[in-house]
Amino acid sequence: MTANTTIRQASEIETTRPFFSVRDMHAYYGESYIVQGVSLDVRRGEILALLGRNGAGKTSTLRTIARTDNPQMRQGEIWLDGAPVHQMKSFEAARAGIQLVPEDRRIIQGLTVEENLTLAKVAPGNGWSLEQIYQSFPRLAERRTQEGVTLSGGEQQMLAIARALARDLKLLLLDEPYEGLAPVIVQEIERILHSIKPLGITTIIVEQNAVAALKLADRAVILDTGEVVFAGTAKEVLDNAELRHEYLAI
């Protein structure tokens, strides 16, 4: 073997190694067994669409990855950029770069847009500056002095994503970000999610609007009753009518 092939193989391994990896993850609400052995892999800068029917376990999977206490993870491993997330508490996972934007977005009441962002920046690390955020989210710049909870649904979603970017962000977990939003706002959020890919930010998006999520995503995982029933490229799902019909009703 020549030196050249050795180098090429090493670089191939480097680019194909998953940046984020979940291995045989099991989680419970009390004694209710919900996340039943989920495994998934995402490469750096990729977008993964996590799909499945209502009650399939998508939110529970995101919450387990973010290391919330509920559901409780009892088995499995979670690795982000070489770090063992499964050994972390939720605040440590956040510090390691995992930011969950839940369905209700959790904008802090009584604070302006700018105060919500400034508060996020209190955490240590190299998140985006206010200037960078306002450049990418002109709507937030326009509304910087407005109370965050009085924004439209779409603007609140942007603020929630911007707040994640204000922290050290490696893995963005989005739970139903498009819910209730007009198509034009969805497009604006898609543009932002697309623009952070080259920065190496990896995204897992849970969406009822499966077609929109699949068009945006590189990879797709479909859950059913807490188990992975499909893992592959987003295109494979878009091209597979049977799969779409059975698990996504589209």
Residue with smaller CB distance to Mg ion, 48 or 117: 48
Choosing among ligand ADP, Mg ion, none, which partner's interface includes residue 55 (Cβ < 5 to 8 Å by kind)? ligand ADP
Query: Which amino acid is present at 101?
Result: V
Q: Which residues pair with 41 in a beta bridge?
A: 21
Query: Which span (12-20, 50-58, 135-143, 148-156) binds ligand ADP, by CB under 6 A?
Result: 50-58
Q: How far is CA 66 from CA 1, 78, 92, in A?
A: 43, 10, 9
Choosing among Mg ion, ligand ADP, none, which partner's interface includes residue 32 (Cβ < 5 to 8 Å by kind)? ligand ADP
Could you say which residues in the range 64-103 bind ligand ADP, by CB under 6 A? 70
Q: Does 29 bind ligand ADP (CB under 6 A)?
A: yes
d(CA 124, CA 122): 6
76: left (phi over 0), alpha (psi -120 to 50) or beta: left
Which of 17, 33, 55, 119 touches ligand ADP by CB under 6 A? 55
What is the phi/psi pair of residue 128, to 5°? -65, 150
Q: Does 68 bind Mg ion (CB under 5 A)?
A: no
Q: How far is the CB of 29 from ligand ADP (least distance, A)?
A: 3
**Tokens 């707040």 label which residue?**
163
d(CA 48, CA 194): 12
Choosing among Mg ion, ligand ADP, none, which partner's interface includes residue 189 (Cβ < 5 to 8 Å by kind)? none
d(CA 235, CA 52): 16
Which of 22, 26, 38, 60 touches ligand ADP by CB under 6 A? 60
Q: Does 59 bind Mg ion (CB under 5 A)?
A: yes
Query: Which span (27-35, 108-116, 142-150, 210-218) binds ligand ADP, by CB under 6 A?
Result: 27-35
Q: Does 157 bind Mg ion (CB under 5 A)?
A: no
- Could you say which DSSP state residue 178 is in? T
Contact in structure between 60 and 226 (CB atoms under 8 Å): yes
Chain residues binding ligand ADP by CB under 6 A are 29, 32, 34, 52, 54-60, 70
